[in-house]
């Protein structure tokens, strides 16, 4: 292969590690992604930098932790002051393209949940750029590109380069109510698409799971199809070009709502899905933040149409699993179409294929759906596959990897130096992680606790330890003896030495990931 291979990065949204055939799901069929794993390396210890969309996608792009790139939680756009690995590829001569979801900026159009504190009586509070400790430009129009307001104008187009992407065909939102360039494509093919979109237009079904929506949008007009079609078109347009390319193919599924279109709706039977182990146990002492989520649902106060974790029944869990499998199989079919385009244009031997996601979903484990402040494996551990025609084939790796390592590994393979201050590691290099370090924060307060979560986690080969800001309790699980994370050992004296070791490991991870930018400008 050339020293400058092409790269196609496939990325899904809210897709936990064990929901692929090659990651041992008992029912789900994903032959195209499985074949990719057979041609490359599948990582079994791959974790997010943060188990929520915007922070982790920003870590993917910048090869840095949330505390450093600034997107600590959903609702903070990625500042252009950050250098992305895509910009470095572009500077090195790569054609760069994004087809699908970005979510580096907010796309709801809603005001933040978090509020600035009111000034104390008799105190003056500065406004404008002096209101926050660090000046920023995040209210400028360039950070409004993914919002409904931007796309409501006549013939909108993403200004490029967009975080390093020369070519952008954007999809915003989730389910069938998605916008961006996809919406224009949809209306060209079906001018009456508004009559097909949303729960008010859904087809009849008997599912009881929250956010189970049988979309009336046919599979051939659904966003998964659009993304595959436009990715194929990009590859075909570069059939005769000698310029190497980096293409990110980014689907908004299988994120809820659970609405696989057409044949994918009933491709999997909920009765064939396993009942999560948590529904078979009565001896589980739930930590306070999980108890809060369950209590709110039991009392009928849960936001069932929202984004945060909710409690669920066993049947709801099985239905959510079956519908998620339908969405994933549709994505797998779309991956196959893009792979065909790679082959038909003669790029198969010069293109590295990569597959990952931004975070997972509980899908019934711990009697939960969606994601939230609960740092269980189901939302922090994700699939990662690297298929290099010149690399190893059919290998399973136990090397610890994280989302911020993806761009660093791509830069290494493309023979590009990372920018100073990038914190990702080459996943095939001599320096590896001895644990995963995860940062999580959110605007929404934890149910029944009343304060927003701010959690730092360390996950080594055996244990997971999480420390919560302002809480006098934490979490410590022995995943070797307790793989479902039921028994919190935080206050257990028999693991005192392990707890101290993990706390030291967490402190060292915090130090290792201190921001090293800017580089010194001189001697004092």
> For the segment 189-242, what is each residue's pLDDT rounded down to a tens digit?
999 999 999 999 999 999 999 999 999 999 999 999 999 999 999 999 999 999
Looking at residue 211, what is its pLDDT?
A: 98
| 23 assigned to some structural domain | yes
> What is the average pLDDT across 175-179?
95
| 456 assigned to some structural domain | no
pLDDT in tens, 318-374: 999 999 999 999 999 999 999 999 999 999 999 999 999 999 999 999 999 999 999
Q: Rounded to whole angstroms, how far apart are CA atoms 344 and 467?
A: 50
Q: Which domain holds residue 418?
A: 6-110+138-434
Cβ atoms of 332 and 316 closer than 8 Å: no
Looking at residue 1, what is its pLDDT?
A: 54
Looking at residue 2, what is its pLDDT?
A: 55
Percent of all residues in the chain with a pLDDT value above 70, rounded to a whole number: 100
Looking at residue 503, what is its pLDDT?
A: 98
> What is the average pLDDT across 35-53?
98
Q: Which bin fits 122, alpha (ψ -120 to 50), beta or left (φ > 0)?
A: left
Residue 387 sits at φ, ψ, to 5 deg, of -115, 100
As to burial, measured by CB atoms within 10 angstroms (0-12 exposed, 13-18 middle, 19+ buried), residue 339 is buried
Q: Please, what is the average pLDDT of the chain?
A: 97
pTM score above 0.85 = yes
Q: 283 pLDDT band (50/70/90 cuts)?
A: confident
Looking at residue 147, what is its pLDDT?
A: 95
> What is the average pLDDT across 71-80?
97
> What is the average pLDDT across 6-32?
98
CATH of the domain at 315: 3.40.720.10
pLDDT in tens, 96-110: 999 999 999 999 888
Q: Which bin fits 265, alpha (ψ -120 to 50), beta or left (φ > 0)?
A: alpha
| 519 assigned to some structural domain | no
Q: Rounded to whole angstroms, how far apart are CA atoms 215 and 210?
A: 14
| 523 assigned to some structural domain | no
Percent of all residues in the chain with a pLDDT value above 90, rounded to a whole number: 96
Say which DSSP state 91 is in: H
Residue 10 sits at φ, ψ, to 5 deg, of -90, 130
| 168 assigned to some structural domain | yes
Looking at residue 482, what is its pLDDT?
A: 97
| 355 assigned to some structural domain | yes
Structure-token match 């990582």, residue found: 43
pLDDT in tens, 468-496: 999 999 999 999 999 999 999 999 999 99
Q: 154 pLDDT band (50/70/90 cuts)?
A: confident
Looking at residue 246, what is its pLDDT?
A: 98
| 231 assigned to some structural domain | yes
Cβ atoms of 372 and 309 closer than 8 Å: yes
pLDDT in tens, 391-401: 999 999 999 99
Q: What total number of domains does the chain contain? A: 1
Cα separation values, 253 from 34, 216, 296, 338, Å: 18, 16, 27, 17
pLDDT in tens, 243-274: 999 999 999 999 999 999 999 999 999 999 99
| 131 assigned to some structural domain | no
Q: 282 pLDDT band (50/70/90 cuts)?
A: confident
């Amino acid at each position: 292969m050339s020293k400058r291979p092409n790269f196609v990065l496939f990325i899904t949204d809210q897709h936990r590690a064990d929901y692929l055939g090659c990651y041992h799901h008992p029912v789900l069929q994903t032959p195209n992604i499985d074949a990719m794993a057979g041609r490359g390396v599948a990582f079994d210890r791959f974790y997010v930098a943060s188990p929520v969309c915007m922070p982790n996608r920003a870590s993917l792009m910048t090869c840095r932790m949330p505390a450093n790139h600034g997107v600590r939680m959903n609702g903070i756009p990625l500042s252009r002051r950050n250098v992305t690995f895509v910009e470095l590829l572009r500077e090195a001569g790569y054609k760069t393209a994004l087809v699908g979801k970005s979510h580096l900026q907010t796309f709801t159009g809603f005001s933040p949940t978090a509020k600035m504190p009111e000034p104390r009586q008799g105190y003056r509070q500065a406004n404008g750029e002096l209101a926050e400790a660090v000046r920023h430009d995040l209210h400028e129009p360039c950070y409004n590109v993914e919002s409904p307001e931007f796309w409501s104008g006549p013939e909108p187009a993403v200004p490029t380069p967009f975080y390093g992407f020369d070519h952008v065909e954007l999809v915003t939102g989730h389910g069938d109510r998605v916008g961006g360039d996809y919406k224009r494509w949809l209306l060209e093919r079906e001018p009456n698409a508004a009559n097909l979109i949303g729960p008010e237009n859904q087809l009849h079904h008997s599912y009881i799971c929250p956010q189970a929506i049988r979309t009336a949008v046919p599979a051939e007009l659904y966003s998964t199809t659009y993304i595959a079609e436009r990715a194929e078109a990009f590859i075909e347009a570069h059939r005769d070009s000698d310029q190497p390319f980096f293409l990110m193919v980014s689907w908004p599924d299988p994120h809820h709502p659970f609405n696989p279109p057409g044949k994918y709706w009933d491709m999997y039977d909920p009765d064939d899905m396993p009942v999560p182990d948590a529904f078979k146990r009565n001896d589980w002492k739930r930590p306070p933040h999980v108890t809060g989520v369950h209590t709110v649902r039991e009392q009928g106060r849960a936001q069932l149409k929202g984004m945060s974790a909710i409690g669920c029944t066993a049947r709801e869990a099985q239905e959510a699993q079956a519908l998620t499998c339908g969405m994933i199989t549709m994505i797998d079919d779309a991956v196959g179409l893009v792979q065909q385009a790679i082959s038909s244009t003669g790029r198969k031997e010069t293109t590295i294929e990569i597959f990952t996601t931004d975070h997972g979903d509980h899908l019934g484990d711990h009697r939960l759906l969606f994601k939230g402040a609960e740092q269980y494996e189901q939302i922090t551990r994700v699939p990662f596959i690297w298929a290099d025609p010149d690399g190893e084939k059919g290998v399973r790796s136990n090397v610890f990897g994280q989302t911020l390592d993806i761009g660093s590994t791509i830069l290494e393979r493309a023979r590009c130096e990372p920018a100073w201050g990038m914190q990702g590691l080459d996943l095939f290099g001599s320096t590896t992680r001895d644990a995963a370090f995860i940062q999580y924060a959110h605007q929404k307060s934890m149910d029944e606790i009343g304060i927003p979560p701010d959690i730092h986690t360390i996950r080594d080969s055996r244990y997971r330890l999480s420390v919560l800001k302002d809480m006098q309790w934490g979490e410590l699980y022995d995943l070797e003896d307790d793989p479902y994370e039921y028994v919190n050992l935080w206050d257990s004296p028999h693991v005192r030495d392990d707890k101290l070791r993990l706390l030291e490991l967490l402190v060292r991870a915090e130090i290792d990931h201190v921001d090293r930018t800017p580089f010194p400008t001189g001697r004092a």
